[in-house]
Amino acid sequence: MASHALILLQIIVLSSLAATTFSLSPYYYQNICPQALPTIKTLVAAAVYKERRMGASLLRLHFHDCFVNGCDASILLDPSPTIDSEKGALANQNSARGFEVIDEIKAEVDKICGRPVVSCADILAVVARDSVVAVRICDHSSF
């Protein structure tokens, strides 16, 4: 009886440790690479300023990645003999755009952080957020 109680206590303690140790944090990138998010924001703003439609295109990339098959950045994969890519899918040809902006952002963030730190899926999510903000700023600055 005492051994069952001890096992139950161990399970509870380990479960509570796992919950606190592996929890998500909105400040993760601020701790790992403080320049990651500001770099993404700057590059998105520059892309939207250069071509205002890019804001909608970047948001659309996130939509097609996240809300179709989950937020895995699979829309960014180039087609290959072993990968049936969403990027090369008939529905996305001449439709999905902004891949070069994402590639530029990923390369710059990896360079600034010194190594690949930010996942492509996270870059798509942050870019979608920042593109909406950038379009709004562009709209208000024209008044």
Q: Is 74 annotated as a binding residue?
A: yes
Q: Where are the domains of the chain?
A: 30-141
How many other C-beta atoms can be found within 10 angstroms of the C-beta atom of residue 47?
24
DSSP 3-state of 46? helix
Query: Is 65 within any annotated ligand binding site?
Result: yes
**Contact partners, residue 2, CB within 8 Å, separation at least 6:** none
Query: Which amino acid type is present at position 73?
Result: A
Considering the four listed CATH numbers 1.10.357.10, 1.10.490.10, 3.40.640.10, 1.10.520.10, the one that applies to the domain covering 30-141 is 1.10.520.10
Please identify which of the residues 4, 62, 64, 140 carries the catalytic annotation: 64
| 62 counts as catalytic | no
Residue type, 54: M
pLDDT of residue 143: 41
Mean of per-residue pLDDT scores for the chain: 85
Which pLDDT score is estimated for 1? 58
Read off φ and ψ for residue 83, nearest 5 degrees: -120, 120
pLDDT, tens only, 51-89: 999 999 999 999 988 887 789 998 898 888 887 888 877
Rounded to 10°, the helix 120-141/53-69 angle is 150
Q: Is there a binding annotation on residue 86?
A: yes
72 labeled part of a ligand binding site? yes
| Residue keyed to tokens 């380990």 | 14
Could you report the per-residue pLDDT of 3-20, keeping only the tens digit for each?
A: 777 677 677 766 665 555
Q: How far apart are CA 75 and CA 25, in angstroms?
A: 25
